[in-house]
Structure 1
Amino acid sequence: MKSLLRSTVLLAVAAGIAASPLQAGAITPQPPHEGAQYVRLDQPQPVRESTRTEAVEFFWYDCSHSQLLEQPLQDWAGRHRADATLRRVPAVWPGDPHEGAQRGHARLYYTLERLGLVERLQTTVFRAVRVDRADLTTEAGAADWALRQGVDPRRFREAYRSAEVQRATDEAAGLFVRYGVEELPTVVVQGEYRTSPTRAGGVEAMPGVLDHLVELERQGQQARPGR
């Protein structure tokens, strides 16, 4: 699986170059197409709410492309606050050589989520892991880091050790299988459409593909009986 992560990084870079409209000499970019910039899941997955379109991001704190997508994805979610909701799932790839580290990072993410601190600290975690090379895969390391961010250490450790965080971490591996994730980052819209850097044509192209998928879902809702 380590080789898969490396290969998808290279493929994403190559795809981003190949899909550039300017380099291809295109006058206007073409809209995303099913089978190219995104695919349908073999088995559509349930969504958590019915009022807005759900986008589920699969990421890992030690993935360079996940880090690159973080700020554009936050910006995208801000623009779509009225019609879309963003849910994140941290990477836990069963059998991967990095599974132990992934589980540690997943536990940190779900702790921050439980404390309502994801939006404030998500980019900070990426910087700590990717730039500072901090080891946040253990309770001690994560708690020390959280204390430096001004998080109450007692509340952090209680959340970190909670049954809810343990359950969410254990369930993350199953979600990767159910959503057919093969690359990081991956975003699934409304439990049905999946895109990633290699599919979209690079990390920078993903928000535009997500715009298209949200609009596609909106049109589909309008066309359904009773609308």
Structure 2
Amino acid sequence: MNSKTLLRSTVLLAVAAGIAVSPVQAGAMTHRNPVEGVQFVKLDHPQPVSESARTEAVEFFWYDCVHSQALEQPLQSWAGRHRADVTLRRVPAIWPGGATEEVQRGHARLYYTLEQLGQVDRLQVDVFRAVRNDRADLTTETGATGWAARHGIDAQRFGETYRSAAVRQSVDEAAAAFTRYGIEELPTVVVEGEYRTSPTKAGGVEQMPGVLDYLVREEQAKAH
């Protein structure tokens, strides 16, 4: 008997017995673990990760991507649940040679400035809101500095960090990583340099944390 027949028979038996079966319960009966090639894929060229007891998750995002914005708070919650066993690293997306490359480089510079200043956790959602909802131009030093100052960051310190060699280098490395990891969709999260998932693969942004849970469990099981 296949799984569909089994589910139908179970539901019919429950109805006959006068037991209400909700769609959620019915769905639970057919729950399956995520499948490679369906909800996630293996990178053609797995990437090195730091030697750590924690599993590394790398998120590729763009401030002007509606799906990246939708994932931000669920991803923060997911990372909060995994503080003990997962290191979350973010990489702002830069499509080298793409029509949006200069805009993405501007957003990446803003991100890495906030990271250097230790302000990402506090302001990441606010940056998405400014770019996506308010259509603020945060791709220039003037625009980014003014926005940061309004959010409590010293303008002089922000500007010095924005122009720093460390931030410039991080932006260049982000562009290289985008190509190296074979990113095709935003947002994408890569687990332990080996597996990646995205909204299209996972079945929607809301399904991504569940897929990530599975990938983290699998990676940790391999380590033991």
TM-score, normalising length from structure 2?
A: 0.87
1:23-62 correspondence to structure 2 within 5 Å: 27-62=29-64
Which of 162, 167, 170 is the aligned partner of 1:168?
170
Give the AA of the match of 1:69: L
- 2:149 corresponds in structure 1 to 147
| Structure of higher RCO (CA pairs closer than 8 Å, 6+ residues apart) | 1
* 1:40 Cα deviation from its structure 2 partner: 0.7
SS of residue paired to 1:31: coil
Deviations 1:128-185 (A, max 9, x none): 0000000000000000000000101111001100000000101111101110100000
> Runs of 5+ in structure 2 lacking a partner?
1-22
Deviation at 1:30, TM superposition (A): 1.4
* Count of residue correspondences: 201
1:194 to 196, 199, 205: 196
Identity across matched positions, percent: 71
Decide which of 136, 139, 162 is 1:137's aligned counterpart.
139
Structure number with greater Rg is 2
CA distance in 2 between partners of 1:127 and 1:27 (Å): 39
Partner of 1:91: 93
Alignment partner, residue 223 of structure 2: 221
TM-score by length of 1: 0.86
- Pick from 99, 103, 106 the counterpart of residue 104 of structure 1: 106
CA distance in 2, matches of 1:130, 1:221: 40
Give the residue type in structure 1 aligned to 2:159.
R
Unaligned runs of 5+ in 1: 1-20, 223-227
Residue 221 of structure 1: CA displacement?
0.4
1:25 offset after TM fit, Å? 6.2
* Distance in 1 separating the partners of 2:152 and 2:29: 50
Matches of 1:197 and 1:135, distance apart in 2: 26
